[in-house]
Amino acid sequence: MQYKAFERGIEISGHAVASTLQGFQLFPSVALKYLARYGFIKGPLPAEGKQPWPDIIDRNAWFPQENWLATFEAIGRDVGTHSLYRIGLCIPEVAKFPPAVHDIYTGVESIDIAYHMNHRKAGKVMFDPKTRLIENGIGHYGYRPVAGEKKIISVCENPYPCDFDHGILTAMARRFEPKVTVAHDDLAPCRKKGADSCTYLITWSVPK
């Protein structure tokens, strides 16, 4: 289900939180209002009409995931779900991702690792690059390539909103395949309807 943390005490990286401002580039004051409400802003807000300074969010800090989810819920309710999609599009630009990404397959596969790199549990980052072990507690971004087809199926089972995940997958896929199509599978369960996951179909063709 959207906006409901799987476990208490999880933290989110400031790098990921900064994506909210990226998603509201034309109207940063809108994002600032919600970020301030849920405790993500350090220092006073900039004057009306002025662009927020780069360090208004401490990117090296860690924040409660429950506050982050509450921010998403408020933005989706008050501003619209397309804003959540726009924020998702910005995540690959600002969040930490593993370095070994060179095509659409490794790109989409890396999302789950990056997801855990940007969350902490009991003060510990949830992906260990040395052991490659992932700590459970926040769900996953699925990755299943379809043999013989230019197609990847991603089942996203996590507490984040459907539209946000759609944006993340779209941005990462477009890095390598500009004409890719990322579609929500409307025949599969959806978090908007109370399910635990959403499914996305990523398809592309080889240029002639």
Does residue 5 belong to any structural domain of this protein?
A: no
Q: Which two tokens stand for residue 61?
A: 């800090």
pLDDT of residue 49: 55
pLDDT of residue 52: 57
Q: Are 165 and 71 in contact (CB under 8 A)?
A: no
Query: In the predicted model, is pLDDT for residue 200 greater than 60?
Result: yes
∠ CA(177), CA(14), CA(110), 5° rounding? 30
Average pLDDT estimate for 37-47 = 79
How many CA atoms, within 13 angstroms, populate the side-chain half-sphere of residue 201?
A: 8
Structural domain range at position 173: 10-203
116 CB contacts (<8 Å, ≥6 apart)? 125, 126, 127, 134, 135, 138
Query: In the predicted model, is pLDDT for residue 65 greater than 70?
Result: yes
Average pLDDT estimate for 143-170 = 96
Does residue 4 belong to any structural domain of this protein?
A: no
Does residue 104 belong to any structural domain of this protein?
A: yes
Buried b (16+ CB within 10 A) or exposed e, 33-52: bbbeebebbeeeeeeeeeeb
Does residue 1 belong to any structural domain of this protein?
A: no
Does residue 2 belong to any structural domain of this protein?
A: no
Cβ neighbours of 65 (radius 10 Å): 23
pLDDT of residue 74: 95
Confidence of residue 56 (pLDDT cuts 50, 70, 90): confident
At 180-192, the pLDDT tens digits run 999 999 999 999 9
Average pLDDT estimate for 114-126 = 95
Q: Quote the distance between the C-alpha of residue 5 and its chain's center.
A: 14
Domain count, the chain: 1
CATH number at residue 14: 3.90.1520.10
11 CB contacts (<8 Å, ≥6 apart)? 62, 63, 64, 65, 119, 120, 121, 123
Confidence of residue 173 (pLDDT cuts 50, 70, 90): very high
Residue 179 is which amino acid?
K
CA distance 77 to 21: 18
pLDDT of residue 197: 96
Report helix, strand or coil for 42.
Answer: coil
* Average pLDDT value over all residues in the chain: 89
34 CB contacts (<8 Å, ≥6 apart)? 20, 71, 74, 75
